[in-house]
Structure 1
């Protein structure tokens, strides 16, 4: 993700479910292209650190929200690419992606002759309030797509494990880069 410019500076965060009620997440303030074991920590599904002397990412609550909602989720990724940032700033409540071969990276889509409505939520520094907005979108039917955008900020995707989460992120980033290029024409 770092090599592709999706997590510049200290932006973005990654997590994996370790088992029932435990999540490993990147700590706040670490460059994601230079991670060491010291850049990771363990929290419970409410985002409370096992080691109170460590500070998790400010957005740990969004990762934990994914794990609470989706028992099958084993990994979550959050990035800040240029296409995500630009397109989400200009979008309404969703960005529709249609006709892309890579839509097949998402569950239940077996053909490019499909479309998804990728939720876009307004950014909010109050993570609990932001998570409540995300959950409301999931309740309204956006739960079928394992990803969403935060306006002017970044993207969240998840999967059963890290390879699946990364596959979905790559597919989504590609389609959004195509959308951004198409709008330049």
Structure 2
């Protein structure tokens, strides 16, 4: 059973991100942690701007469906990987935008550095714009468990893993303690990536 407020939060975030062009067609997926072993996640194949009650299902922390007759995206396993790794994570958002697609494809290294932006304050530990963050860019892979293994290795090597990453040519993932926090981080990340893309055009 999914609490009404959880389903409403997921439906509302889908509408907001659709208005901003961050989840075109059936792209993206969202989740909220229900408890230590389960999460509510969007079902596969739905346009996120037109989600309705019933377009959210429950899976366990390993991605196994607990709602009969419904299927979530294979990328649900990436949500599960975040929840397993970061106990403080309460919500995960995955979006697709022009900016994150273009910038992740153009990135020559394994990260994109964002520096000097006011919206860096949306990320933990960055109280002012006088900071920078390296957002990891990982290779796209249709083998989702293998991708998650790579992410776990990446996080193992980081002193402070940022609550977000990009999949090259594919999309962005962010997480936070709750849905409002995750939404703020996704919007901040997407804004900064759009600024970076615009600056490249002006050079």
TM-score bucket (shorter structure)? over 0.9
Q: Cα RMSD (Å) of the superposition?
A: 1.0
CA distance in 1, matches of 2:21, 2:27: 10
Query: Aligned residues, how many?
Result: 185
**For 1:34-183, what aligned pairs fall within 5 Å after superposition?**
34-91=50-107, 92-141=109-158, 143-183=160-200
Q: Is the 8 A contact 1:118 1:142 kept in 2?
A: no
Other structure's SS at 2:102 match = helix
Moved over 6 A (4+): none
Say if 1:117 and 1:88 are closer, same or farther in 2 by CA, change over 3 A.
Answer: same
Structure 2 Cα separation of the partners of residues 54 and 105 of structure 1: 34
3-state secondary structure, aligned to 1:19: coil
| Residue in 2 that maps onto 1:20 | 36
1:144, CA displacement in angstroms? 2.8
- Tell me the SS of whatever aligns to 2:41: strand
For residues 84-110 of structure 1, the C-alpha deviation after alignment (integer angstroms, 9 at most, x for no partner) is 000000112000001111111111111
Distance 2:199 2:157 in 1: 29
The alpha-carbon deviation at position 52 of structure 1 amounts to 4.6
Q: Distance in 1 between matches of 2:63 and 2:160?
A: 21
Unaligned runs of 5+ residues in structure 2 are 1-16
Secondary structure, counterpart of 2:172 in structure 1: strand
Please name the residue that 2:8 is paired with: none
TM-score by length of structure 2 reads 0.89
